[in-house]
Structure 1
Amino acid sequence: MSTPVITATLHRRINGWFESEGRALPWREPECGAWGVLVSEIMLQQTPVVRVLPVWTAWMERWPTPRDLAAEPPAEVIRAWGRLGYPRRALRLQAAAAQIAGRHGNMVPDTAPELLALPGVGTYTAAAVACFAFGRPEVVVDTNIRRVHARLVSGRALPEKSLTAAEMDLARDLMPGEPDEACRWNASVMELGALICTARSPRCGQCPVAEVCAWREAGMPEPHYRPTGQAWAGTDRQVRGAIMALLRDAGRVPLGEIPERAAAAGTLGAHRPDSAQFERCVAGLLADGLASRDDEGPEPLLSLPG
């Protein structure tokens, strides 16, 4: 599969498909700038585009530069993050903004090592921002890219459960040699995985490289493991999310009223946390800097930080 002729065919067809079929997303526009790309990459972690779009748009209008975000009270940053989930990302993004403003002259650094040094920026995000914002041909590997590579080249229905060295080697081997084409390839394969080569219902009839797909040639075998989605109902994530939703809406809330008020708001569904789970979730939010506790009055109050 990975002969030079076949690999060049993949580059041409998938990049060509992306040019005509790729979504017009604001962080892909030339005028967006590196800050907008960084914000999008942080928001898109484990979060679909449809949920990110309105939040990203409002965020960029309100905080068009890192310095603007860095100067904002954390409570406002958390409120603006809304229901994107994993709100620690909001505080890490603000910490990255402060470092960009203070150490990099309010300009997002343009190399993967410098980006990796920012708070909350991991290997994938550093490579993605260097590639998509600055045209550096870094090897970008997300879940969509891994799935396309697994099917197209390895003949498997799904990639491994977690990123392996072999998958990184394959991604590196498949990269075009020309920098602009390599950056476009990263975006193209990612988009193909998001729109066509999806996890559950791949649209092979619309795939530009279906006839050279190793998975199809192998008879589309079943996955070599059974994927399991993340549980939500009854988990600490649900309880933490319900508490955060209440704090975003109400500001300061008596600690003892939170379970009842969260239940009334419907954010807990049928679940009712016991005292141990509730206390554990509150302690976690405090430790993560997502909430503040005030014990000065007649009863403890919980609020957003600062």
Structure 2
Amino acid sequence: MGYGPEVPRSPAAPAVDPAAPAALTAGSVEAVISWFAEQARDLPWRSPEASPWAILVSEIMLQQTPVVRVLPRWLEWMERWPHPADLADAPTAEVLRAWDRLGYPRRALRLQECARAIVREHGGVVPRGEQALRALPGIGEYTAAAVTAFAHHDRAVVVDTNIRRVLARAATGRALPAPSYSAAERRLATAVLPEAREQSVAWNQAVMELGALVCTARAPRCAQCPLADGRCAWVAAGRPAAPEGEARPRQAFAGTDREMRGKIMAALRGASQVESADLDRLDPADPARVARCRDSLVADGLAVREGSALRLP
């Protein structure tokens, strides 16, 4: 994540809530932006030539999915469907096959629905403004703000998991943010965001990248952080651990319904249709699990029943 034009420099100070901790000063903001100017990853959706549609696609793909997995799939998609109208007209089965093993395939359906709405309601052009974006299928608060900032270069409060973690540590001294995004976090993110439009875009890019590369959840590299030198409340407090019960354990994947849904989708992508009996062999010890996952895929619109078989829609 973290898209947009070349990082601008401006002497304009951010509007910081007077009640916010001193760690979040204009100097801190400028330090993070300067770090980003030197350390930012060279990603194609950050190119000045990237269209708002290309950036919207990247944002949907990057939800809960690392850049290394998204990059090849995004390049293929933009080659195949460079405009909303291209994806809107594509067969849904081909869209799901192209999504491949990117995970959470319902995002592919929502993305195609979004493309169709853009064509139908906006003449094939990604609309400008958070309200118009949020009216599109599958676009929530974060994605609308991200597209506003990174595609249209307007001021927006962008808050993802990485930004929440950086603000929690630098401003409040907490190892991790609360499990759920709170009104207090929204106020803090709003207060820190620079008033100047270009500077606000740069801050959103930079703090997101800082959380992704340096201020990571499990192995933060504080020695490389531009805020470590007296500007991070968490470091100043001795890097206290998250309170018991707040640490995020790694979620198991093997043996889950999500894993089985992925196996069924892989089988459907590889054939015109697959008999239910063949799908049962994916877990002979627990056919009820296979049936449950089959039914959930049909309910989600990711699969269609064809007699005793399943196929992509």
- TM-score range (shorter-chain normalised) is over 0.9
1:273 Cα offset (Å): 5.6
1:120 Cα offset (Å): 0.6
Structure with the greater relative contact order (CA < 8 A, sep ≥ 6): 1 or 2? 2
Aligned counterpart in structure 2 of residue 221 of structure 1, from 219, 240, 252:
240
1:251 Cα offset (Å): 2.6
Unaligned runs of 5+ in 1: 264-271
Distance in 1 between residues matched to 2:264 and 2:21, nearest whole Å:
54
Aligned counterpart in structure 1 of residue 309 of structure 2, from 294, 301, 304:
301
Distance in 1 between residues matched to 2:285 and 2:36, nearest whole Å:
47
Match of 1:257 in 2: 278
Query: Under a length normalisation based on structure 1, what TM-score does the superposition of the two structures give?
Result: 0.93
Aligned counterpart in structure 1 of residue 182 of structure 2, from 139, 164, 168:
164
Distance in 1 between residues matched to 2:128 and 2:51, nearest whole Å:
11
1:241-252 → structure 2 map (5 Å cutoff): 241-252=262-273
User: Is 1:292 aligned with 2:304?
Assistant: yes
User: Is 1:45 aligned with 2:53?
Assistant: no
> 3-state DSSP class of the match of 2:235?
helix
Distance in 1 between residues matched to 2:76 and 2:216, nearest whole Å:
29
Mean Cα displacement is larger for which, 3-12 or 213-222?
3-12
Cα distance change, pair 273–130 in 1 and its aligned pair in 2 (3 A): farther
1:258 Cα offset (Å): 1.1
1:6 Cα offset (Å): 5.5
Cα distance change, pair 180–4 in 1 and its aligned pair in 2 (3 A): farther
Distance in 1 between residues matched to 2:285 and 2:136, nearest whole Å:
36
Distance in 1 between residues matched to 2:81 and 2:272, nearest whole Å:
22
Aligned counterpart in structure 1 of residue 122 of structure 2, from 100, 104, 110:
104
Distance in 1 between residues matched to 2:95 and 2:149, nearest whole Å:
27
CA contact (8 A) 2:166 2:207 kept: yes
1:20 Cα offset (Å): 1.0
CA contact (8 A) 1:148 1:189 kept: yes
> 3-state DSSP class of the match of 2:151?
helix
Distance in 1 between residues matched to 2:306 and 2:272, nearest whole Å:
13
The amino acid of 1:99's aligned partner reads A
Aligned counterpart in structure 1 of residue 223 of structure 2, from 205, 211, 220:
205
Distance in 1 between residues matched to 2:21 and 2:211, nearest whole Å:
22
Please list the CA deviations of residues 122-161 of structure 1 after superposition, one character each: whole Å capped at 9, or x if unmatched: 1100110011000111100000000000110100111111
Distance in 2 between residues matched to 1:6 and 1:144, nearest whole Å:
16
> 3-state DSSP class of the match of 2:194?
coil
Aligned counterpart in structure 1 of residue 145 of structure 2, from 127, 141, 144:
127
Aligned counterpart in structure 2 of residue 34 of structure 1, from 28, 41, 52:
52
Match of 2:8 in 1: none
Please list the CA deviations of residues 229-252 of structure 1 after superposition, one character each: whole Å capped at 9, or x if unmatched: 222111110111100011111231
Give the count of matched residue pairs.
Answer: 292
1:2 Cα offset (Å): 4.0
The amino acid of 2:94's aligned partner reads E
Cα distance change, pair 153–234 in 1 and its aligned pair in 2 (3 A): same
Mean Cα displacement is larger for which, 176-185 or 272-281?
272-281
CA contact (8 A) 1:197 1:204 kept: yes
CA contact (8 A) 1:152 1:214 kept: yes
Q: Percent identity?
A: 54
Please list the CA deviations of residues 241-277 of structure 1 after superposition, one character each: whole Å capped at 9, or x if unmatched: 10001111123111111132x46xxxxxxxx562322
Unaligned runs of 5+ in 2: 1-18
Larger helix share, 1 or 2 = 1
The amino acid of 2:89's aligned partner reads A
Query: Under a length normalisation based on structure 2, what TM-score does the superposition of the two structures give?
Result: 0.90
> 3-state DSSP class of the match of 2:310?
strand
> 3-state DSSP class of the match of 1:134?
coil
Distance in 1 between residues matched to 2:86 and 2:23, nearest whole Å:
49
1:4 Cα offset (Å): 7.8
